Amino acid sequence: MKNFIWLLTLEIFFGNPGDELSGQKPITVDDIWTNYRFNPNLVPGFNFLLDGSHYARLENGNIEVYDIRTGASTSTMFAASMVNPDEVPGRVDGYTLSDDESRILLTFGSESVYRRSTLAYYAVWDRSENTLQSIFPGNKLSLAVLSPDAQRVAFVFQNNVYTQDLRDGEIRQITEDGVSNAIINGTTDWVYEEEFSLVQGIYWSPQGNYLAYYRFDESEVPEYTIPFYYDEPYPRWVTYKYPKVGERNSEVSIHIYELMTGRIAEVAIPADNEYVPRIKWTRQDNQLCVLTMNRHQNELKLELADAQTGSLKVLLEETNPYYIDIQDDLTFLPDGEHFIWSSEKDGYNHIYLYDMQGREVRKLTQGSSDVTKFYGYDAQRDQIYYQAASPSPMERQVFTVKLDGSGLHTLNNTSGTHEAQFSQTFDYWVDTYSRINQPPVYTVFDEAGRPVRTIEDNRQLASLQREYGVSPVEFFSFTTSENVSLNGWMIKPPDMDPTKKYPVFMFLYGGPGSQQVLDNWRGQNYWWFQSLAQQGYLVACVDNRGTGARGQEFRKMTYKQLGHYETLDQIEAARYLGSLPYTDATRVGIFGWSYGGYMSSLCVLKGNDVFKMGIAVAPVTNWKWYDNIYTERYMQTEEENPEGYHDNSPVYFADRLKGAYLLVHGLADDNVHFQNTAEMANALIAANKQFETYFYPNRNHGIYGNNARTHLYTKMTNFILNNL
């Protein structure tokens, strides 16, 4: 196999009939995707401890404690040697500390289900007693959550909710009607997990007297079946519930279990509220906040539920002419009288302070920059911390402001992208800082923004950039014929000769709220793009209308016509790039994955006079084949918006194909079904259009595992060399 890959690598790097390498050490697909030579060092999985000056990290099954100021190891909180493999199989791969840090909830042998959901064994380590207690021994669970007093664990097994008392080991079964592909208790269905980023469906009240949980009745949701191929006579079939556009959703209800009495109250959610994307306890132990939305997702309510009766009263209502994105910024303050909420109601995403009667007290952030993350509230200093797309949409800075609106300032003083993680006391924070030409640097700062120490600087990766002679990524902007300014980046071939004409290879995603033109480290694709630049291609990316960090009107103007303005912008971007004095306008190609694959397909079809070739990986090719929460948020239903669906679905434009087209999909893609690629192939065949296709059995939307990424990127590289 290695010899085969080596020969492919020779073809990739020395088989281009065009420009020659300029003496740089060649960047290979194998080094990127098999050897992972260019991966940065990360600082994952650490949790700040309650004292604010120490943090814990999971390392080889051990939980080690470090001093945040010095980086010195101070103790081992948990050692893998304490586990008897006969009692808890598998290796420790995750942990959660109880609120008082007296107990640790450990996960063992986790396995993925869908994008965010897992199955795992769970156990609780008692730090004072030095004892390990299995949760529902011998069974893999969907989810487990410690109670606030660390005396109980709530968990989900085979679609039912249970609790286990850690003092006497008593297990209570709360629900009994859970059935696969019918009734789900305590976790969420596929579409909530994918589109609302919601897996957890059990929530303890602040004092642990109540347990709120989701119940999904997905009996009437249509099913989709995926084949898996092994060394067996017949495929294995996996069937799950997937609601496509216009189809029925799960009937969702919220229930509140009272531990002392065993009573269960159902929250009285009105029938016209299609979605319940979030629930969250207030500071009162008997008051649950329930977020509900209509099916069009342009009306949102925050409602307070009485834990005893399930009755509701409205706390806050919000409407939007387009749609409302769900976020996790809702924070009930310790005074019990106020809460934090973020909204786009003034045209940009900002943070607001409300009282518990739903009255706006004040707007805490200002201006024409979107708030992109809310980090939390520091009660001691009475201020919040957040990230914003400032001073430009292509940057991210960390800010703080007091609840009275005073004291606004940034904690950074360098251009680029800053991501923050704060200690429990907000005395220290770790800044993950990168730029588009600079790998991530992890630095500890104090609350005043003074650097304390550097945890990781990725100096070795910066050295590899020099060793391989990479070209700097350059930002640019241009104005379209519709007078819209668009941002982009480009990588020019090393030692570029301005008298030559270079082919252009474009990359895009382009989906609602996304952003590729951002001054941050771009990961493994950065190195692949550099390898293409080494071989004489100018690589570029442009963020079209509909992308993020430029306010609501720019982002939501694609409403009800996904793909229309985005395609116009990408075609104009290709024409702009092709007009540069050092580019060849007859050799422009484009590549995208998922929404980007949808976009590259539209571009190569509708822009057939501009694009010579296109690559589409895991594309949507007709919006009626995608899930309803995502698609209807932006497009409504096909019945309501037939023109929007027809005019922007690649399958209806297959007859326009002129250039080379590569269509790729994983056969086990539970997100964008292979159906999209199969139907696109049918349309191309019917139009008698030649194309190439690659499929990956047993691979999901990410197409990885057992050499799949190396295989795919080798194919894509050769396709570019042969067709552009």
Residues 102-144 have pLDDT tens digits of: 999 999 999 999 999 999 999 999 999 999 999 999 999 999 9
CB 430 within 8 A of CB 52: no
Please give the backbone phi and psi of residue 719, each rounded to the nearest 5 degrees, phi first.
-65, -40
Q: What is the pLDDT of residue 10?
A: 29
Our measurement of the distance from residue 623's CA atom to the centroid of its chain's CA atoms, rounded to an integer in Å, reads: 21
| DSSP at 651 | G
Please report, in angstroms and rounded to a whole number, the separation of the first and last CA atoms in the chain. 28
The predicted model gives 463-489 an average pLDDT of 97
The predicted model gives 174-188 an average pLDDT of 98
Q: Using DSSP, state whether 159 is helix, strand or coil.
A: coil
Our measurement of the distance from residue 174's CA atom to the centroid of its chain's CA atoms, rounded to an integer in Å, reads: 32
Q: Is the pLDDT of residue 54 over 90?
A: yes
417-451 pLDDT, tens digit each: 999 999 999 999 999 999 999 999 999 999 888 99
Q: Is the pLDDT of residue 8 over 60?
A: no
> Per-residue b/e over 275-305, b at no fewer than 16 CB within 10 Å?
bbbbbbbbebbbbbbbbbbebbbbbbbbbbb
**Whole-model pTM over 0.85:** yes
364-395 pLDDT, tens digit each: 999 999 999 999 999 999 999 999 999 999 99
Task: Say how many C-beta atoms besides its own lie within 10 A of residue 598's C-beta.
Answer: 31
Residues 281 and 278: their CA atoms lie apart, in Å, by 10
Sequence-ordered list of residues with C-beta below 8 angstroms from that of 173, at least 6 positions apart, any chain: 160, 161, 162
Please give the backbone phi and psi of residue 404, each rounded to the nearest 5 degrees, phi first.
-85, 5
The predicted model gives 669-679 an average pLDDT of 98
Q: What is the pLDDT of residue 17?
A: 33
Residues 65 and 57: their CA atoms lie apart, in Å, by 7
Structure tokens, 577: 């790039």
Q: Using DSSP, state whether 80 is helix, strand or coil.
A: helix
Q: What structural domains does the chain harbor?
A: 2-40+461-723 (3.40.50.1820)
CB 318 within 8 A of CB 329: no
Nearest to 564 by CA among 640, 512, 506, 489: 512
The share of the chain scoring above pLDDT 70, in percent, equals 97
Q: Using DSSP, state whether 605 is helix, strand or coil.
A: helix
CB 545 within 8 A of CB 563: no
Q: What is the pLDDT of residue 615?
A: 98
Q: Is the pLDDT of residue 638 over 50?
A: yes
Q: What is the pLDDT of residue 88?
A: 82
Residues 78 and 603: their CA atoms lie apart, in Å, by 54
Q: What is the pLDDT of residue 413?
A: 82
Q: What is the pLDDT of residue 18?
A: 36
Which amino acid belongs to residue 621? T
Cα torsion at 597, 601, 603, 609 (round to 10°)? 140
Residues 518 and 530: their CA atoms lie apart, in Å, by 17
327-357 pLDDT, tens digit each: 999 999 999 999 999 999 999 999 999 999 9
